[in-house]
Structure 1
Amino acid sequence: MADHDWPVVESVTEYETPWYDGGYDRVEQPDGSRKDYYWAALPPAVVVVAVHDGDVVFVDQYRPTIREQCLELVAGIVEESAAETSDVAPDPDRESYVAAGRRELREETGYAADEVHFVEEFWTATGILRHKRGIVFAEGLTAVGRELDDNEFLSVERVPVEDALAVARASPANDATIEGLLLARADDYL
């Protein structure tokens, strides 16, 4: 990471978990004062906007963190792997967003996609997180069977494209789902 005019005097990882690391950077601010900026570092994730027969494919799952049942887009961690040179990857040691999106879609919904298009990559919650998110769009879906992880208890729901954003905005709204739908719509995928 570049320090710009905010040199990092000290960087401390205070804890490590299987999902993320947390700590702080002691930073010298432009006025010469020092301040600790706390962060959580998560692996990059992919969000999949998938359309099948005029419907957006959602998954319905319970999210223990917020204690809510959520209807959201398919999403998951971009796994460590040799990145494909033809697609955007968050870093050289991870699969591309396209490959991760294709895999997550198949695992969570049982659909294989003929086409997966990269839409956008961005940092999320930059005030506290070190976390990149990539959005992909999938189409030409064929049912092939699901391969859920041992912590995935979800059902697949389909929502007409014209209703998808309204459904995504209903409580409990999910940032990744809203972002994915808006970006896909802005790029004329929806």
Structure 2
Amino acid sequence: MKPYEDPNARLDEVTVATKPVFEGKIISLQIDTVKLPDGSTASREIVRHPGAVAVMAIHEGKMVLVDQFRQAMGRRELEIPAGKLEKGEDPLEAAKRELQEETGYTCGNIRLLHSFYTSPGFADEIIHLYVAEDLESGEASLDEDEFLELCELTLDEAQEAIAAGKISDAKTIMAVYAWKLKRLTGAFQL
């Protein structure tokens, strides 16, 4: 995804210093000191993330979801299959891998719908959202610390799950609304 380019660049901030704070398995945290457009300085807490993929998989008129506990939320959540990119991994290959690992499905047709930043105010995580169709069932191969159940919902059921708070993460809501838009227009688009 290309960044927005302002020819005047009058709103840009310039990084003066970076202080690493935490280096984890998935994310790192740093504090940047930036020079603001008016010449003053400010601190920015930045979460670095390797990026992720998410897959809107449609099987026999239903969206494939996984039900899993999310510690940060303190509850279970219905989500489309997703996972982080490994270092140097091609997002398309990662999408196919995550779909197979979490659901057992492989796909005959997969394409990028859109890439988007999850929380650009403090994180650089980008998610590449793919649409997968022509699914063939197979055996899932979950990570050793991954426990989930497969769930398939119609569009109406997915919208009801959003209304009930069972689907509340942005990538899955975006996928449901893209699916709804396809029903209205005949093509996946954002």
The two structures have a TM-score, normalised by structure 1, of 0.85
Identical pairs, percent: 28
Q: How many residues are paired up?
A: 176
For the pair 1:158 / 2:152, whether they are aligned, the reply is yes
The residue that corresponds to 1:133 in the other structure is 127
Gap runs ≥5 in structure 2: none
The residue that corresponds to 2:86 in the other structure is 79
Cα distance, 1:163 vs. partner? 2.6
SS at 1:130's partner residue?
coil
Alignment of 1:54-93 (within 5 A): 54-80=61-87, 93=88
Instruction: Summarize deviations over 1:98-137 as a string: whole Å, max 9, x none.
Output: 2211111110011111111110012121111111111000
SS at 2:81's partner residue?
strand
The alignment's C-alpha RMSD in Å is: 1.9
The residue that corresponds to 2:109 in the other structure is 115
Question: Is the CA contact 2:105–2:140 (under 8 Å) kept in the aligned structure 1?
Answer: yes
One-letter amino acid of the structure 2 residue matched with residue 51 of structure 1:
I
State the alpha-carbon separation in 2 of the partners of residues 113 and 168 from structure 1. Answer: 26
One-letter amino acid of the structure 2 residue matched with residue 28 of structure 1:
K
The residue that corresponds to 1:175 in the other structure is 170
Question: Is the CA contact 2:63–2:153 (under 8 Å) kept in the aligned structure 1?
Answer: yes
Cα distance, 1:61 vs. partner? 0.5
Question: Is the CA contact 1:168–1:174 (under 8 Å) kept in the aligned structure 2?
Answer: no
State the alpha-carbon separation in 1 of the partners of residues 43 and 126 from structure 2. Answer: 22
Instruction: Summarize deviations over 1:42-79 as a string: whole Å, max 9, x none.
Output: 11111110010111001000111111011111111122
For the pair 1:18 / 2:25, whether they are aligned, the reply is yes
State the alpha-carbon separation in 2 of the partners of residues 120 and 169 from structure 1. Answer: 24
SS at 1:58's partner residue?
strand
| 4+ runs deviating over 6 angstroms | none
SS at 2:102's partner residue?
helix
State the alpha-carbon separation in 1 of the partners of residues 48 and 164 from structure 2. Answer: 29
The two structures have a TM-score, normalised by structure 2, of 0.85
